[in-house]
Structure 1
Amino acid sequence: MAEGAGGQSLLFLTDEQLRKGIEAMFFAYRGFTADPDRILAEKSYGRAHHRAIHFIHRSPGTTVNNLLATLGVTKQSLNRVLRSLIEDGLVESRVGRSDKRERNLYLTTTGQELERELSDAQRERMRAAYRTAGPEAVAGFRQVLEAMMDEDMRRQYERLTEGGRK
Protein backbone atom coordinates (compact mmCIF):
# COMPACT_ATOMS: atom_id res chain seq x y z
CA MET A 1 0.00 0.00 0.00
CA ALA A 2 1.42 3.40 -0.98
CA GLU A 3 2.15 5.74 1.89
CA GLY A 4 2.14 9.54 1.66
CA ALA A 5 3.58 12.23 3.90
CA GLY A 6 2.89 11.48 7.53
CA GLY A 7 2.08 7.83 6.73
CA GLN A 8 -1.34 8.62 5.23
CA SER A 9 -2.51 6.00 2.79
CA LEU A 10 -2.82 7.32 -0.75
CA LEU A 11 -5.32 4.62 -1.59
CA PHE A 12 -7.90 5.81 0.93
CA LEU A 13 -8.02 9.59 0.80
CA THR A 14 -10.46 11.43 3.01
CA ASP A 15 -12.75 14.15 1.68
CA GLU A 16 -10.60 16.65 3.58
CA GLN A 17 -7.42 15.42 1.88
CA LEU A 18 -9.14 15.65 -1.51
CA ARG A 19 -10.43 19.15 -0.71
CA LYS A 20 -6.89 20.26 0.13
CA GLY A 21 -5.66 18.83 -3.17
CA ILE A 22 -8.42 20.60 -5.10
CA GLU A 23 -7.65 23.89 -3.40
CA ALA A 24 -3.93 23.45 -3.99
CA MET A 25 -4.66 22.93 -7.68
CA PHE A 26 -6.76 26.12 -7.84
CA PHE A 27 -4.01 28.19 -6.24
CA ALA A 28 -1.25 26.53 -8.25
CA TYR A 29 -3.18 27.29 -11.45
CA ARG A 30 -3.46 30.94 -10.41
CA GLY A 31 0.30 31.03 -9.92
CA PHE A 32 0.98 29.16 -13.15
CA THR A 33 -1.12 31.61 -15.18
CA ALA A 34 -0.19 34.83 -13.31
CA ASP A 35 2.98 35.66 -15.26
CA PRO A 36 1.50 34.95 -18.71
CA ASP A 37 -1.68 36.82 -17.75
CA ARG A 38 0.39 39.96 -17.05
CA ILE A 39 2.22 39.64 -20.36
CA LEU A 40 -1.04 39.02 -22.25
CA ALA A 41 -2.87 41.91 -20.55
CA GLU A 42 -0.26 44.34 -21.90
CA LYS A 43 -1.33 43.25 -25.39
CA SER A 44 -5.07 43.07 -24.61
CA TYR A 45 -5.06 39.27 -24.96
CA GLY A 46 -6.42 36.58 -22.68
CA ARG A 47 -5.83 32.93 -21.88
CA ALA A 48 -7.63 31.76 -25.02
CA HIS A 49 -5.02 33.61 -27.08
CA HIS A 50 -2.28 31.98 -25.01
CA ARG A 51 -3.66 28.49 -25.56
CA ALA A 52 -4.01 29.06 -29.31
CA ILE A 53 -0.44 30.40 -29.55
CA HIS A 54 0.88 27.50 -27.48
CA PHE A 55 -0.72 24.77 -29.58
CA ILE A 56 0.04 26.41 -32.92
CA HIS A 57 3.66 26.56 -31.78
CA ARG A 58 3.59 22.88 -30.75
CA SER A 59 2.08 21.81 -34.08
CA PRO A 60 3.06 24.25 -36.84
CA GLY A 61 0.67 23.93 -39.78
CA THR A 62 -2.14 22.56 -37.63
CA THR A 63 -5.58 23.07 -39.10
CA VAL A 64 -8.33 25.14 -37.57
CA ASN A 65 -10.32 21.92 -37.02
CA ASN A 66 -7.41 20.28 -35.18
CA LEU A 67 -7.03 23.34 -33.00
CA LEU A 68 -10.77 23.30 -32.28
CA ALA A 69 -10.53 19.68 -31.14
CA THR A 70 -7.45 20.32 -29.02
CA LEU A 71 -8.82 23.40 -27.29
CA GLY A 72 -12.39 22.14 -26.93
CA VAL A 73 -13.88 25.56 -27.69
CA THR A 74 -16.60 26.68 -30.05
CA LYS A 75 -15.79 27.62 -33.62
CA GLN A 76 -17.08 31.14 -32.96
CA SER A 77 -14.80 31.57 -29.95
CA LEU A 78 -11.75 30.26 -31.79
CA ASN A 79 -12.49 32.40 -34.85
CA ARG A 80 -12.58 35.52 -32.67
CA VAL A 81 -9.21 34.63 -31.11
CA LEU A 82 -7.59 33.67 -34.43
CA ARG A 83 -8.90 36.79 -36.16
CA SER A 84 -7.17 39.04 -33.61
CA LEU A 85 -3.93 37.02 -33.71
CA ILE A 86 -3.87 37.13 -37.52
CA GLU A 87 -4.75 40.84 -37.68
CA ASP A 88 -2.01 41.61 -35.15
CA GLY A 89 0.57 39.68 -37.16
CA LEU A 90 1.17 36.84 -34.69
CA VAL A 91 -0.41 34.00 -36.67
CA GLU A 92 -0.41 33.28 -40.38
CA SER A 93 -3.22 31.30 -42.00
CA ARG A 94 -2.26 29.47 -45.20
CA VAL A 95 -4.46 27.59 -47.63
CA GLY A 96 -4.02 23.82 -47.28
CA ARG A 97 -1.88 22.08 -49.88
CA SER A 98 -4.01 18.97 -50.31
CA ASP A 99 -7.37 20.49 -49.36
CA LYS A 100 -7.85 24.11 -50.38
CA ARG A 101 -10.71 24.45 -47.86
CA GLU A 102 -8.35 23.84 -44.96
CA ARG A 103 -6.43 26.60 -43.26
CA ASN A 104 -3.03 25.74 -41.82
CA LEU A 105 -1.86 27.91 -38.94
CA TYR A 106 1.69 29.06 -38.26
CA LEU A 107 3.21 31.51 -35.82
CA THR A 108 4.95 34.47 -37.39
CA THR A 109 8.30 35.65 -36.01
CA THR A 110 6.40 38.04 -33.73
CA GLY A 111 4.11 35.19 -32.63
CA GLN A 112 7.13 33.00 -31.90
CA GLU A 113 8.65 35.75 -29.76
CA LEU A 114 5.45 36.10 -27.73
CA GLU A 115 5.15 32.32 -27.37
CA ARG A 116 8.73 32.16 -26.09
CA GLU A 117 8.11 34.96 -23.58
CA LEU A 118 4.97 33.25 -22.25
CA SER A 119 6.56 29.80 -22.14
CA ASP A 120 9.75 31.05 -20.51
CA ALA A 121 7.71 32.48 -17.64
CA GLN A 122 5.84 29.21 -17.14
CA ARG A 123 8.92 27.03 -17.57
CA GLU A 124 10.75 29.03 -14.91
CA ARG A 125 7.88 28.56 -12.46
CA MET A 126 7.67 24.82 -13.26
CA ARG A 127 11.46 24.41 -13.04
CA ALA A 128 11.54 26.03 -9.58
CA ALA A 129 8.61 23.91 -8.36
CA TYR A 130 10.12 20.71 -9.75
CA ARG A 131 13.48 21.47 -8.11
CA THR A 132 11.76 22.02 -4.78
CA ALA A 133 9.61 18.87 -5.05
CA GLY A 134 12.27 16.50 -6.40
CA PRO A 135 12.27 13.88 -9.17
CA GLU A 136 9.87 11.40 -7.55
CA ALA A 137 7.28 14.12 -6.99
CA VAL A 138 7.68 15.30 -10.60
CA ALA A 139 6.90 11.82 -11.93
CA GLY A 140 4.00 11.44 -9.50
CA PHE A 141 2.58 14.83 -10.40
CA ARG A 142 2.58 13.97 -14.10
CA GLN A 143 0.89 10.63 -13.34
CA VAL A 144 -1.83 12.39 -11.36
CA LEU A 145 -2.43 14.93 -14.14
CA GLU A 146 -2.58 12.21 -16.80
CA ALA A 147 -4.95 10.13 -14.66
CA MET A 148 -7.34 13.10 -14.38
CA MET A 149 -7.66 13.44 -18.16
CA ASP A 150 -10.69 12.07 -19.96
CA GLU A 151 -9.86 9.33 -22.45
CA ASP A 152 -10.16 11.64 -25.49
CA MET A 153 -8.00 14.30 -23.85
CA ARG A 154 -5.39 11.73 -22.92
CA ARG A 155 -5.19 10.55 -26.55
CA GLN A 156 -4.71 14.12 -27.75
CA TYR A 157 -2.09 14.71 -25.06
CA GLU A 158 -0.25 11.50 -25.95
CA ARG A 159 -0.23 12.39 -29.68
CA LEU A 160 1.16 15.80 -28.86
CA THR A 161 3.78 14.60 -26.40
CA GLU A 162 4.88 11.61 -28.48
CA GLY A 163 5.27 13.84 -31.53
CA GLY A 164 7.26 16.43 -29.61
CA ARG A 165 9.47 14.50 -27.19
CA LYS A 166 12.80 16.25 -26.80
Structure 2
Amino acid sequence: MYLTVVSSDDLCHLYDFEYRNKDWFERFVPPREPGYFFFDDFKEHVGEHLAEQKRMKLLMFVVYRDNEIIARVNITNIQQGVAEIDYRVCQRVAGQGLATQAVKSVLDLCRDKYGINRVNAITTDNNVASQSVLLKNDFEFSHRDKDAYVLNGQSVDFVFFQKALGTV
Protein backbone atom coordinates (compact mmCIF):
# COMPACT_ATOMS: atom_id res chain seq x y z
CA MET A 1 0.00 0.00 0.00
CA TYR A 2 1.40 3.41 -0.88
CA LEU A 3 0.40 7.08 -1.10
CA THR A 4 1.30 9.11 -4.17
CA VAL A 5 0.58 12.50 -5.72
CA VAL A 6 -1.95 12.16 -8.56
CA SER A 7 -0.61 12.39 -12.09
CA SER A 8 -2.17 11.81 -15.49
CA ASP A 9 -1.00 8.20 -15.20
CA ASP A 10 -3.60 7.67 -12.46
CA LEU A 11 -6.57 8.80 -14.54
CA CYS A 12 -8.14 5.41 -15.34
CA HIS A 13 -7.64 4.09 -11.81
CA LEU A 14 -9.08 7.29 -10.33
CA TYR A 15 -12.13 7.12 -12.58
CA ASP A 16 -12.68 3.50 -11.58
CA PHE A 17 -12.42 4.43 -7.88
CA GLU A 18 -14.96 7.24 -8.20
CA TYR A 19 -17.37 5.29 -10.43
CA ARG A 20 -17.30 2.08 -8.37
CA ASN A 21 -17.94 3.93 -5.11
CA LYS A 22 -20.39 6.58 -6.34
CA ASP A 23 -23.40 5.27 -4.39
CA TRP A 24 -21.31 4.75 -1.25
CA PHE A 25 -19.90 8.28 -1.32
CA GLU A 26 -23.30 9.83 -1.96
CA ARG A 27 -24.57 8.44 1.33
CA PHE A 28 -22.33 10.96 3.10
CA VAL A 29 -21.44 13.79 0.71
CA PRO A 30 -23.26 15.83 -1.92
CA PRO A 31 -23.22 14.06 -5.30
CA ARG A 32 -20.83 14.93 -8.10
CA GLU A 33 -22.18 16.67 -11.19
CA PRO A 34 -23.74 14.08 -13.57
CA GLY A 35 -21.14 14.77 -16.27
CA TYR A 36 -18.37 13.80 -13.85
CA PHE A 37 -19.07 10.15 -14.62
CA PHE A 38 -18.66 10.44 -18.38
CA PHE A 39 -15.02 9.55 -18.93
CA ASP A 40 -14.24 12.42 -21.33
CA ASP A 41 -15.72 14.96 -18.88
CA PHE A 42 -13.90 13.28 -15.99
CA LYS A 43 -10.62 13.43 -17.91
CA GLU A 44 -11.13 17.15 -18.57
CA HIS A 45 -12.06 17.82 -14.93
CA VAL A 46 -8.98 16.01 -13.60
CA GLY A 47 -6.82 17.70 -16.23
CA GLU A 48 -7.92 21.11 -14.94
CA HIS A 49 -7.07 19.99 -11.41
CA LEU A 50 -3.66 18.72 -12.51
CA ALA A 51 -2.95 22.17 -13.98
CA GLU A 52 -3.95 23.75 -10.65
CA GLN A 53 -1.71 21.24 -8.88
CA LYS A 54 1.26 22.40 -10.97
CA ARG A 55 0.51 25.96 -9.79
CA MET A 56 0.29 24.71 -6.16
CA LYS A 57 -3.36 25.76 -5.81
CA LEU A 58 -4.29 22.22 -4.81
CA LEU A 59 -2.74 18.81 -4.20
CA MET A 60 -4.32 15.47 -4.99
CA PHE A 61 -3.13 12.24 -3.40
CA VAL A 62 -4.26 8.64 -3.85
CA VAL A 63 -3.60 5.45 -1.91
CA TYR A 64 -2.95 2.35 -4.00
CA ARG A 65 -3.19 -1.27 -2.94
CA ASP A 66 -2.72 -4.09 -5.46
CA ASN A 67 -2.77 -1.66 -8.43
CA GLU A 68 -6.13 -0.23 -7.32
CA ILE A 69 -6.91 3.14 -5.75
CA ILE A 70 -8.60 2.57 -2.39
CA ALA A 71 -8.52 6.13 -1.04
CA ARG A 72 -7.89 9.70 -2.04
CA VAL A 73 -7.03 12.86 -0.14
CA ASN A 74 -7.25 16.34 -1.63
CA ILE A 75 -5.72 19.54 -0.32
CA THR A 76 -7.55 22.47 -1.90
CA ASN A 77 -7.74 26.25 -1.78
CA ILE A 78 -4.07 26.58 -0.83
CA GLN A 79 -3.42 30.23 0.05
CA GLN A 80 -0.70 31.71 2.23
CA GLY A 81 -0.05 28.50 4.15
CA VAL A 82 -3.73 27.68 4.74
CA ALA A 83 -5.68 24.96 2.92
CA GLU A 84 -8.72 22.69 3.08
CA ILE A 85 -8.71 18.90 3.18
CA ASP A 86 -11.18 16.32 1.95
CA TYR A 87 -10.88 12.57 1.61
CA ARG A 88 -12.68 9.45 0.43
CA VAL A 89 -12.17 5.77 1.11
CA CYS A 90 -13.72 3.00 -0.95
CA GLN A 91 -16.49 1.08 0.75
CA ARG A 92 -14.54 -2.17 0.73
CA VAL A 93 -11.87 -0.82 3.12
CA ALA A 94 -13.99 1.58 5.18
CA GLY A 95 -13.62 1.24 8.93
CA GLN A 96 -10.07 -0.15 8.79
CA GLY A 97 -8.27 3.06 9.81
CA LEU A 98 -7.06 3.76 6.28
CA ALA A 99 -8.55 7.27 6.10
CA THR A 100 -6.97 8.20 9.43
CA GLN A 101 -3.58 6.95 8.25
CA ALA A 102 -3.83 8.61 4.81
CA VAL A 103 -4.91 11.96 6.29
CA LYS A 104 -2.03 11.84 8.77
CA SER A 105 0.48 11.14 5.99
CA VAL A 106 -0.87 13.96 3.84
CA LEU A 107 -0.87 16.41 6.77
CA ASP A 108 2.78 15.56 7.45
CA LEU A 109 3.60 16.23 3.79
CA CYS A 110 1.65 19.49 3.87
CA ARG A 111 3.71 20.71 6.80
CA ASP A 112 7.12 19.29 5.86
CA LYS A 113 7.16 19.61 2.08
CA TYR A 114 4.54 22.13 1.03
CA GLY A 115 4.75 24.79 3.77
CA ILE A 116 1.10 24.55 4.79
CA ASN A 117 0.61 25.47 8.45
CA ARG A 118 -3.18 25.32 8.90
CA VAL A 119 -5.78 22.99 7.43
CA ASN A 120 -9.56 23.35 7.55
CA ALA A 121 -12.10 20.58 7.02
CA ILE A 122 -15.85 20.36 6.54
CA THR A 123 -18.03 17.31 7.02
CA THR A 124 -21.67 16.64 7.73
CA ASP A 125 -23.15 15.82 11.09
CA ASN A 126 -24.31 12.43 9.81
CA ASN A 127 -20.79 11.44 8.72
CA VAL A 128 -19.51 10.26 12.09
CA ALA A 129 -16.66 8.28 10.51
CA SER A 130 -15.29 11.43 8.85
CA GLN A 131 -15.52 13.35 12.11
CA SER A 132 -13.64 10.51 13.81
CA VAL A 133 -10.84 10.69 11.21
CA LEU A 134 -10.46 14.41 11.88
CA LEU A 135 -10.49 14.05 15.67
CA LYS A 136 -7.94 11.20 15.55
CA ASN A 137 -5.71 13.57 13.57
CA ASP A 138 -6.05 16.27 16.27
CA PHE A 139 -8.40 18.57 14.39
CA GLU A 140 -10.45 20.84 16.62
CA PHE A 141 -14.13 21.60 16.20
CA SER A 142 -14.61 25.12 14.84
CA HIS A 143 -18.33 25.65 14.25
CA ARG A 144 -21.52 24.22 12.80
CA ASP A 145 -23.92 25.47 10.12
CA LYS A 146 -27.37 24.15 11.09
CA ASP A 147 -29.55 22.66 8.34
CA ALA A 148 -27.00 23.69 5.72
CA TYR A 149 -27.78 21.06 3.10
CA VAL A 150 -30.41 18.50 2.16
CA LEU A 151 -28.71 15.16 1.58
CA ASN A 152 -30.75 12.16 0.53
CA GLY A 153 -33.95 13.88 1.63
CA GLN A 154 -32.65 14.79 5.10
CA SER A 155 -31.42 18.13 6.36
CA VAL A 156 -27.83 17.91 7.57
CA ASP A 157 -25.53 20.31 9.35
CA PHE A 158 -22.09 21.17 8.03
CA VAL A 159 -19.51 20.67 10.77
CA PHE A 160 -16.25 22.63 10.50
CA PHE A 161 -12.87 21.64 11.92
CA GLN A 162 -9.37 23.14 11.85
CA LYS A 163 -5.84 22.08 12.66
CA ALA A 164 -2.64 24.03 13.09
CA LEU A 165 0.23 22.01 11.66
CA GLY A 166 3.03 23.84 13.38
CA THR A 167 6.48 24.10 11.89
CA VAL A 168 9.11 21.58 10.89
Classify the TM-score, shorter chain.
under 0.3
Larger Rg over CA atoms: 1
- Flag the structure with higher helix content: 1
Q: TM-score, normalised by structure 2?
A: 0.27
- Flag the structure with higher strand content: 2
